[in-house]
Amino acid sequence: MDIQDLTLDRDGLIAALECNEPAFNEALCKKAYETKVAHIGTDVYLRGLIEISNICAKNCLYCGIRHDNTACTRYELSDEEVLAAATKAARMRYGSVVIQGGERTDAAFVRKITRLLKAIKALPTASEGGIPLGVTLSLGEQPREVYEEWFAAGAHRYLLRIETTNPDLYYKIHPHDALHSHERRMEALQDLKAIGYQAGTGAMIALPWQTAADMADDLLFYKAFDAPMVGMGPYDPNDETPLTQSGAPLLPDEQRFALGLKMIALLRLLMPDINIASATALEVLNPRGRELGILSGANVFMPNITPEEQMVKYNLYDRKTLLRDCPHSGEPRKEENHICKNCVFPFCSLGENLQNGKVTIGWGRWGDSLHFQRNKSIHNE
Ligand code: 5AD
Ligand code: SF4
C-alpha cells in the first residue's frame, strides 16, 4: 500500500491497519509526526504518574491487579507518599500529575482522593507564575456524585478507557456480571464530559480476537466522542491472568508494537489537535517504545513517579522489562526516571530526539489539548 492512497474512512483505516509493509508503516508514522508538528508543534507535555494503589474491586480478565489475583501483593500509598511524589513533580516542573489506581468506590477512598486533590492544588510549584499542578484522575467508573466531588476539589481531566468499542469483545475479556458493563462504562464517560472534565478515553490495541475493523471502530469512536485526549496502548499479557492462562490467541510482540504505533499515527491524522499519550505498554515491547510513540504523533509522556518499591507491584501486565538499561548509553537503569550520563533529562528514552530538536518539552505547563482549548472558547462565545 502507498501512503498516498491512505483514506481516513472506515475502509481506509482497516486497510492501513492490515498492511504489514514496513515502508508503509514508516511513512505513516512520519506523516503523523509531521501533522502533529504542523498543528500543535514539537512540545511534549509531561504528567508525573502516581500509581496510588493496586487494590481493585474488579476482575478484568487481562489485568494483573484484578481482585481475584492472589499472587499480587497489594499496596496503597499514604497521603504523605502521594504528596511527596506530587511535590517532586512540581519541583521538576512537570506541570501535571496523573493519579491512577485500581477501581474502588468505598467512602474512605473517595474522601482520600478529595483530600489529596485539595492538598496537591495548594502545593507550591516551580512553574511559571506559581500555577498549581494540573491533575488528571484515572480511577475507573464512579457514581456521578463522586466525579462531581472530585471535579469540585480540583481535578480537571479524567482518563477512562473504553477498552474496546466492540461489546462482544468487551464481554470476552471481562466477566459477565453487573460490575463489568460496557453500557455503564459508556455512561460514565458521558457523565465525565457533562460535568466539564476533559474526558479522555482509549482502548487496548491488538487484544486477543480483536480485528482491524474493531480497531478502526475504536478510532472512529474517539472522533465521534470528540475526545480531547486519548491514551491507548498494546495489550501485554500477564501470566497470572485468566486471559493468558486460557491460551487466548496473541499476536507476536513485533506486530502488537507496530499496531500500537500505527493506531497513534492514524489517530493523529484523524484528530490533529488532541492530546495523545505515548503509553507505557509500548515500552514493554521495545526499549525505545515511548520515544517511537512520540515520533509517531503522540505528545504526552508520563514519567512514573510512584515510589519504586510499590511501582513494581503495579503489574497490569508483566513489567519486569521496564527496569532495563538505557537504550543510548547502555548504563543500567534502576528506575524509570533514572538520569543517565548521555541524557540530560530524567527519562532517558527521549534523550537523542530532545537533543536534535524533534522533541521539545512543555515544562511546567498543564498542557491541555489545543482541541479542548478551542472548543472551550467556542462554547464561551
Ligand atoms: N495490557 C495492556 N494494558 C492493560 N491494562 C490493563 N491490563 C492490561 C494489559 N494486560 C490497561 C487497561 C486499563 C489501564 C489502566 O491499563 O486499558 O484501562
Ligand atoms: Fe481493575 Fe482497571 Fe485492572 Fe480492570 S483494568 S482489574 S478495573 S485495575
Q: Point out the least confidently predicted range of 91-95, 182-186, 234-238.
A: 91-95
Query: Residues 309-319: pLDDT tens digits?
Result: 787 788 888 76
Among 296, 282, 116, which residue's Cα sits nearest to residue 206?
282
Q: Is the pLDDT of residue 264 over 90?
A: yes
Residue with cell string 526499549: 287
Q: Is the pLDDT of residue 329 over 90?
A: no
Give the strand pairing for 204-205 and 198-200.
Answer: unpaired
276 lines ligand 2 (CB under 6 A): no
Q: Which of 54, 62, 63, 318 has the most ligand 2 atoms within 8 A of CB, as the residue to mutate?
A: 63
Q: What is the dihedral of CA 278, 50, 47, 67, to 10 degrees?
A: 40
pLDDT for the residue 378: 56
Q: What is the dihedral of CA 310, 311, 313, 314, to 10 degrees?
A: 130
44 lines ligand 1 (CB under 6 A): no
pLDDT for the residue 325: 57
pLDDT for the residue 304: 81
163 lines ligand 1 (CB under 6 A): yes
61 lines ligand 2 (CB under 6 A): no
- Residue 80 is part of which domain span? 3-380
60 lines ligand 2 (CB under 6 A): yes
65 lines ligand 2 (CB under 6 A): yes
Ligand 1 atom nearest the C-alpha of 203 is 17
Query: Residues 206-258: pLDDT tens digits?
Result: 999 999 999 999 999 999 999 999 999 999 999 999 999 999 999 999 999 99
Q: Which of 52, 53, 54, 56 has the most ligand 2 atoms within 8 A of CB, as the residue to mutate?
A: 56
User: What b/e sequence results for 180-216 when a residue is b if at least 16 CB atoms lie within 10 Å of its CB, and e otherwise?
Assistant: bbbeebbebbebbbebebbbbbbbbbbbbebeeebbb
Q: Is the pLDDT of residue 368 over 50?
A: yes
Q: How many domains does the chain have?
A: 1
Q: Point out the least confidently predicted range of 187-201, 271-285, 324-338, 365-379.
A: 324-338
Q: Which of 54, 55, 65, 104 has the most ligand 2 atoms within 8 A of CB, as the residue to mutate?
A: 65
DSSP 173-238: SS-SSTTS-HHHHHHHHHHHHHHT-EEEB-BEES-TT--HHHHHHHHHHHHHHT-SEEEEEE----
Q: Which three cell numbers stand for residue 96?
A: 501535571
pLDDT for the residue 162: 98
204 lines ligand 1 (CB under 6 A): yes
Measure 164 CA to ligand 2 centroid, in angstroms: 14
| Closest ligand to Cα 61 | 2
pLDDT for the residue 341: 43
235 lines ligand 1 (CB under 6 A): yes
Q: Which of 52, 53, 54, 66 has the most ligand 2 atoms within 8 A of CB, as the residue to mutate?
A: 66
62 in Cβ contact with 241 (< 8 Å): yes
Of 224 and 331, the one with more pLDDT: 224
Measure 66 CA to ligand 2 centroid, in angstroms: 6
pTM of the model: 0.93
Q: Which three cell numbers stand for residue 153?
A: 476539589
356 in Cβ contact with 364 (< 8 Å): no
The per-residue pLDDT of the chain, averaged, comes to 89
State the average pLDDT over residues 56-61: 98
Distance of CA 367 to the CA centre of its chain: 15
State the average pLDDT over residues 272-287: 91
State the average pLDDT over residues 150-171: 98
CATH code (residue 229): 3.20.20.70
Q: Is the pLDDT of residue 16 over 60?
A: yes
185 lines ligand 1 (CB under 6 A): no
Measure 124 CA to ligand 1 centroid, in angstroms: 33
What confidence category does residue 381 fall into, taking pLDDT thresholds of 50, 70 and 90? very low
Q: Is the pLDDT of residue 320 over 70?
A: no
pLDDT for the residue 357: 81
Measure 322 CA to ligand 1 centroid, in angstroms: 15
User: Which residue, judged by its Cα, is nearest atom 8 of ligand 2?
Assistant: 102
State the average pLDDT over residues 64-79: 96
Could you tell me which residues come within 8 angstroms of residue 329 by beta carbon, excluding any fewer than 6 positions away?
A: 340, 341, 342, 343, 348
